[in-house]
Amino acid sequence: MEVWRRGLSSSAARLSWKLSLPRRLKGGLVEKWGDYWTTVAQDYKEVALDTMKESRKHPLKSSAYISLIASIMYAVKTNPDERDYKDTLHRYMNESAMLSSKVRNAEVDDHLHYMADCFDHGLLRRLSLGICSFLWVDNYSKECGVFKSQCGYLKPRYLTFHQRVQDMGFLGHWWRTEQLMEEFDVNHQELPQADESGLRDKLELIWEFTKGKVSQIRNIL
Question: Under DSSP, is residue 191 helix (H, G, I), strand (E, B) or coil?
Answer: coil
| One domain, residues 132 and 51 | no
| One domain, residues 109 and 180 | yes
d(CA 58, CA 50): 12
Residue 35 lies in a domain: yes
| One domain, residues 53 and 86 | no
| One domain, residues 184 and 114 | yes
| One domain, residues 86 and 53 | no
| Tens-place pLDDT, residues 28-85 | 666 677 777 888 888 888 888 877 887 788 778 778 888 889 999 999 999 998 888 8
| One domain, residues 111 and 176 | yes
Residue of 221 and 3 predicted with greater confidence: 221
CB 136 within 8 A of CB 118: no
| One domain, residues 170 and 136 | yes
| One domain, residues 21 and 88 | no
Residue 64 lies in a domain: no
Average pLDDT over residues 122-151: 83
Residue 213 lies in a domain: no
pLDDT of residue 3: 42
Residue 23 lies in a domain: yes
CB 135 within 8 A of CB 221: no
**Among residues 121, 126, 127, 156, which one has the least CA distance to residue 141?**
121
Average pLDDT over residues 154-172: 85
Residue 74 lies in a domain: no
| One domain, residues 39 and 91 | no
Residue of 171 and 191 predicted with greater confidence: 171
How many domains does the chain divide into? 2
pLDDT of residue 178: 86
Return the bridge partners of 126, or none: 135
Q: In what order do the strands lie in the sheet with 132-137?
A: 124-128, 132-137, 165-170, 173-174
Range of the domain at 86: 82-190
